[in-house]
Each structure stands twice: as structure tokens, then as C-alpha cells.
Structure 1
Amino acid sequence: MRKTAALLILLLAALTATGCSALEQEYPSADPAALSQRLRDRAQWAYDGMALPLHKAVKPVRVIPGHSCYAGGLSIEKTLPDVVTFDLSWRVEDIPADVARSTEARLRRKFTSAGWTLTHDGNRRGRNFVTFGFRVQDPATGDQFDLAWNDSTTSLFLSGYTSCAKVPQPAADNPSPKTWTPQTA
């Protein structure tokens, strides 16, 4: 037992001393402007795929950085200041249940037929509630989109997230200066 503990301590010391990335996760470097634009483009693509009836205008939103990317290894609680995920979230209010259900089904088909992987099915019906939704992930980029609707708010929520990426420090702390609202034909 002592030999195993001593061996583990020596291995840990060697990995730490050499800066081995086995202890901390390596994240790819990325251009924050390109990630933001990709989210805006995919949000428009998703909005078009929803084929919603006339509704109140979607309020302009910004792509914002999120600090939920962890170092990994022995420091699983430590976030990395220059590694972020980008998020774009918006909603359409006052969507009836039948419209929400058909919209959810259309968008789910659009994502999965484009090769996205369904990672969560949020369709639930209980005695006092109804929810529709899903989460999908792009296997090529790791980006995710969530769609959610519930009968207590009757709002349709769509959120997109990029994978964690290393970006220049100013971009890690500031939202994109550009706003997005869906373009309608």
C-alpha cells in the first residue's frame, strides 16, 4: 500500500513539474467573433426552421460569454478566466400548446436531419403541467441548442451554446457588441 501511494505521489509530482496537460484540460483557441457569428447564424437557421405564425417581435439579444469551463484534472472546481463558452438565448412569448408542440417537432427534425445528436428529450406531461423541448449537439463543433416551452409561461425559449474555447481575455469578459433578432422574410 505504501509503495502504491509513494508511486502515485511521484507520478503526480512528475506530471506537475513537467506541465503535463494530463492534469488540466486543454481547450482549443478560437476567434470570439467567429464563434459569435456562428451562434447568430445558427439561431437564424433555427428560427427559420420553426416556421412560427405571426408573433410579437423577438427582443434583440447579444452573444454573451459564460465562465463554466473548468480546468479539469485535480482542479475540477477552478474555472479558467480566458476559456469561455458563448451563449445566445431568446424567446417568443404567448405560444399556444398546439403551436409549441408542432414547432418543437419541426425544429427537432431539422436539427437531427442536419446531423445533430439528440442529447435530451424534454417532452413531459404531468397532472398539472406540460413541457416540450429538447437539447441537441453538433458532433462537429460540440455546440448545443436547447428548445423549451411550458404551459405556465407559454413562451418558447431557444438557447445556443458553443463549446469551451480559449479566447483573448477582453472577449472572455465582454458580450458581443452586435445584437441579434430574427430576420423575417
Structure 2
Amino acid sequence: MRKAAISLTLLLAALSTTGCSAVEREYPSAEPAALRQRLTDRAQWAYEGMALPRHETVTPVRVIPGHSCSAGGLSIEKTLPDVVTFDLSWTVEDVPVDIARTAEARLRKQFASAGWTVTHDGNRRGKTFVEFGFRVQDPKTGDTFDLDWNDSTTSLFLSGYTPCAKVPRSAAEGPSPDTWAPQI
């Protein structure tokens, strides 16, 4: 009897660990418009914080839903059709190395001052390449932003992502109705 109790306890512990739960994971419900607005507001804030010199206009983009949220449970590969992340990505082309370095430092400082946590440092230099960038996460919302630049493309890339949230299925199936581009 004792062996059975120990075995049952171990089985329940294994099933309740992250990614191995017998019960589907609960995601918070969220209003898609609020998530999209949060991303575009923060992307504008980031753009302004970099204080880039005049450049070609950033091509308007849409906030798009991503389907990278798994159900958990025993079938880890199963995704939930109404649980999504939202993401927004934009690019500024032809940014010289000195401007990219300065913009990266400004934005890193701005995110740190706002209480975001750097979760990845992408500043690297090799014999044949130079890269600048980082990933930050907002401890309040779970949103993440990535900034990347490399000398092979000389483009500055900024991407923002919300954490997984349960939204109406219609909002999980397509991009935002409106486009967004930084206001210069």
C-alpha cells in the first residue's frame, strides 16, 4: 500500500510540472484592442526613445496574432485556437553602425529606467560581424521587446510581443484592421 501511495504521489507530481499537466493550462482573458494598443503605444515610445536621425519612413505594419500558445496537458503540441500572443515588428533600413550603437544604448537605458528587465544581451562583435541588440521584458505585463541590428543588413529591427492570452476567436484569426507606423 505504501509503494502505491508513493507511486501515485510521484505520478501526480510529474503530471503537475510545467508542460506535463493533465489539465489544460489557464490563460488570462484579454481584450485584443487593448493588447494591440499597448504594443503600438510602447513601439512609438521606443521609437521616440532611440532619437534616430531623419530616415526613410517605416513601412506601416499590422499587429498580428501568433499561435505559439500550447494547451499544456498531456498533449504539449496542441495549440489553442483562441489563445494567442500579439506581435508587432518594424524595420528602419540603412542605419550606420555609430547611429545603431547610440540608438541601442538610448533605448536600453529607457527600458531600464521604466523598470523592464534585460533578458538577453545581443551585443556581439566577431572577426567578420558586428551585432547590437537586446531583449527586455516588462515585469508588470509580461510584454517583451527585441531590438536588433547587424552590419550585414544595416537595418534596425524592433519587435514587441504580448504574453499568451485568451481572446475572442475572431481576433485570433487575423491581423489588426489598422496599420501602424512610428509618428516622426
* Residues in 2 aligned to 1:131 and 1:121: alpha-carbon distance in whole angstroms: 10
Task: Give the secondary structure class of the aligned counterpart of 1:119.
Answer: strand
Partner of 1:18: none
State the shift of 1:50 in Å: 0.6
In the alignment, residue 26 of structure 1 is paired with which amino acid? E
* Residues in 1 aligned to 2:32 and 2:53: alpha-carbon distance in whole angstroms: 33
Task: Give the secondary structure class of the aligned counterpart of 2:45.
Answer: helix
* Residues in 2 aligned to 1:139 and 1:34: alpha-carbon distance in whole angstroms: 18
Q: Is the 8 A contact 2:32 2:167 kept in 1?
A: yes
- Which aligned runs of 4 or more in structure 1 are off by greater than 4 angstroms? 8-12
Aligned length: 177
Q: Is the 8 A contact 2:22 2:74 kept in 1?
A: no
Partner of 1:7: 8
* Residues in 1 aligned to 2:71 and 2:44: alpha-carbon distance in whole angstroms: 32
Structure 1 length normalisation: TM-score? 0.89
Q: Is the 8 A contact 1:49 1:106 kept in 2?
A: yes
Structure 1 residues 10 and 118 mapped into 2: Cα distance closer, same or farther (>3 Å)? Answer: closer
Partner of 2:167: 167
Structure 2: give runs of 5+ residues left out of the alignment.
Answer: none
Q: Is the 8 A contact 1:129 1:150 kept in 2?
A: yes
Task: Give the secondary structure class of the aligned counterpart of 2:76.
Answer: strand
Question: RMSD of the alignment, in Å?
Answer: 2.1
State the shift of 1:23 in Å: 2.5
In the alignment, residue 96 of structure 2 is paired with which amino acid? P
Structure 1 residues 107 and 73 mapped into 2: Cα distance closer, same or farther (>3 Å)? Answer: same
Partner of 2:91: 91
Structure 2 length normalisation: TM-score? 0.90
State the identity %: 75
* Residues in 2 aligned to 1:172 and 1:4: alpha-carbon distance in whole angstroms: 43
* Residues in 2 aligned to 1:89 and 1:181: alpha-carbon distance in whole angstroms: 10
Structure 1: give runs of 5+ residues left out of the alignment.
Answer: 16-20
Of Structure 1 and Structure 2, which has the larger fraction of its residues in strand? 1
